[in-house]
Amino acid sequence: MFLFHNDKKSETLRRELYQLHYKRIYNTCLRIVGNPLDAEETMQDVFLKLFDNLEKLKNEKAFYSWSRTIAMRMSIDRMRKSKPIFEQIDDNLSIADEEETDYELQLSVETIQQELNNLPDGYRIILSMRLFDECEFKKIAEMLQINESTVRSQYVRGRKKLVYNLKKKLIENE
């Protein structure tokens, strides 16, 4: 168990925890809130909450998953304030099967992240939680306080929209 007091040792441990985890927590926040400034603010809030509640953590090995869960929840709370919209996409949107295309999908991580950030909030949040944080649909539904079927349909539609946008970008860059 972590033992924290207002001493140099506790301050050093907090600093070490921050250094070990800040990039991961920032990236989790960024994928959900979609804006670097909001992600940084959320990350700072996450660390404040983590440090205020470290004495409640019974197992030091659980810090990773505990901190990720707090980061996702606080990011979702920030997004709730801006009321993300879970949009319908155009039913006529057709996406070629990978077998039908000769395009080689060689995209940078930055390009994929940029296109992910261009998606409507609802799609981006669900895709990020599912793909990057490996959350189950049920957990996403609970955290977002929406139906699991909505999460599944938003995931499928968001993934299709992301693939469509990435293929379109590849065609434009040829």
Give residue-wise pLDDT tens across range 20-51. 999 999 999 998 888 899 999 999 999 999 98
- Residues 131-158 have pLDDT tens digits of 888 889 999 998 888 889 989 999 999 9
CATH class of 8-81: mainly alpha
Cα angle vertex 136, ends 1, 139, to 5°?
65
Residue closest to 146 by CA, chosen among 165, 121, 118: 121
Return the percentage of the chain with pLDDT > 70, whole number: 79
**HSE on the CB side for 160, CA within 13 Å?**
16
Contact 128, 32 (CB under 8 A): yes
Would you kindly state where each structural domain of the chain is located, as residue ranges?
8-81, 98-173
CATH 1.10.10.10 assigned to domain 98-173? The reply is yes
What is the tens place of the pLDDT at every residue in 98-126? Answer: 343 434 445 677 778 888 888 988 899 89
